[in-house]
């Protein structure tokens, strides 16, 4: 069973505040998504659509892991077996690009897959999966940065412009949540054109940070990967940024 997305404390979701969006939560087993849809497009049937899509994605991925258990445990890029489902292919490709195992991309891959399904029926969609976000919006947005005990936590946000959509905004932390990280950054946020990739790169960049002295090597790693458009790293009282990162104080 998949269990890489079981961060229990999601109280940050109470801060969702887009007045033009209707928010709802969809949870299937360990997959727990917060979704925002533009008010004009919202319909109750979208909840069932999301649930069915999550079940379909999970069934395909779980069946694949049954025949290729290394896919779940690998910490380095992995060649896939013939017939791997699209969700596994997306994760595997992201892992190769970022130099990490495919499960490092699971939350971002699910967020994007559900977001793309919804986008066929709605004008704007935001899907958040444990801090990893797929966004396709025609309005400016602010994405709050949660960085554990850092003084920057909940005090800065990323401004997202409509012309950046669709995009992924994914966060890795060595101090918050249960996800495996070999680093000690409070938050590494990656913006990218693909959400699975942004998720995998966030893990790879986070693994490289033990102290603020490691910011540059993490940023240099991320900026060389095609599809990455911005990097924000936070550790304690220090932060560094590169690329399309517009910070807004709160």
Identify the CATH number of the domain in which residue 80 sits: 3.10.520.10
What percent of the chain shows pLDDT beyond 90?
Answer: 83
Question: Residue 149: which pLDDT band, with cuts at 50, 70 and 90?
Answer: confident
The span from the CA of 245 to the CA of 60, in Å, is: 35
The neighbouring-strand residues paired with 136 are 125
Average pLDDT over residues 150-162: 94
Q: Which residue has the tokens 């694949």?
A: 64
Does any domain span residue 169? yes
pLDDT of the residue at 6: 38
Does the reported pTM lie above 0.75? yes
Q: Does residue 74 form part of some domain? A: yes
In a domain, 1, yes or no: no
CA distance 8 to 11: 9
The predicted structure's pLDDT at residue 243: 98
In a domain, 75, yes or no: yes
Q: Report the pLDDT value the prediction gives residue 17, as an integer from 0 to 100.
A: 62
Q: With 80 as the cut, is the pLDDT of residue 54 above it?
A: yes
What is residue 183's predicted lDDT score, i.e. its pLDDT? 75
The span from the CA of 73 to the CA of 2, in Å, is: 11
Range of the domain at 166: 21-249
Enumerate long-range contacts of 69-73, CB under 8 Å, 24 or more apart: 71/102, 71/103, 72/103, 73/101, 73/103
Distance, in Å, from the CA atom of 111 to the CA atom of 78, rounded to the nearest integer, reads 22
Query: Could you tell me if residue 76 is inside a domain?
Result: yes
Q: Which residue has the higher pLDDT, 177 or 35?
A: 35
8 belongs to a structural domain: no
Number of structural domains in the chain: 1
Tokens standing for residue 196: 């699975």
What pLDDT digit, counting tens, does each position of 199-246 carry?
Answer: 999 999 999 999 889 999 999 999 999 999 999 999 999 999 999 999
Asked if the model's pLDDT at residue 7 lies above 70, the reply is no
Q: Please list, in sequence order, all residues whose beta carbon lies within 8 angstroms of the beta carbon of residue 144, skipping any fewer than 6 positions away.
A: 12, 15, 154, 156, 157, 250
Cα torsion at 225, 70, 60, 112 (round to 10°)?
A: -20
- What 3-state DSSP class applies to 158? strand
What backbone torsions phi and psi does residue 64 show, to the nearest 5 degrees?
Answer: -65, -40
Q: 11 lies in a domain? A: no
């Amino acid at each position: 069973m998949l269990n890489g997305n079981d961060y229990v404390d999601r109280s940050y979701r109470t801060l969702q505040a887009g007045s033009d969006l209707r928010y709802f939560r969809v949870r299937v087993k360990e997959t727990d998504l917060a979704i925002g849809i533009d008010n004009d497009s919202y319909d109750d049937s979208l909840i069932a659509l999301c649930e069915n899509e999550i079940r379909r994605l999970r069934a395909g991925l779980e069946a694949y892991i049954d025949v290729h258990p290394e896919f779940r445990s690998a910490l380095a890029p992995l060649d896939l077996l013939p017939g791997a489902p699209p969700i596994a292919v997306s994760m595997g490709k992201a892992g190769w690009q970022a130099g990490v195992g495919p499960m490092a991309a699971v939350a971002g891959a699910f967020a994007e897959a559900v977001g793309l399904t919804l986008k066929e029926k709605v004008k704007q969609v935001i899907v958040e999966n444990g801090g990893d976000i797929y966004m396709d919006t025609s309005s400016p947005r602010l994405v709050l940065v949660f960085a554990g005990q850092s003084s920057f936590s909940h005090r800065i946000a990323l401004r997202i412009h409509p012309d950046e959509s669709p995009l992924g905004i994914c966060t890795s932390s060595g101090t918050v949540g249960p996800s495996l990280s070999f680093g000690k950054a409070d938050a590494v946020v990656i913006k990218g054109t693909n959400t699975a990739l942004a998720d995998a790169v966030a893990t790879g960049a986070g693994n490289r940070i033990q102290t603020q002295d490691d910011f540059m090597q993490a940023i240099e790693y991320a900026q060389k990967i095609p599809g990455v458009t911005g990097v924000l790293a936070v550790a304690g009282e220090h932060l560094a940024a590169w690329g399309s990162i517009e910070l807004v104080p709160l």
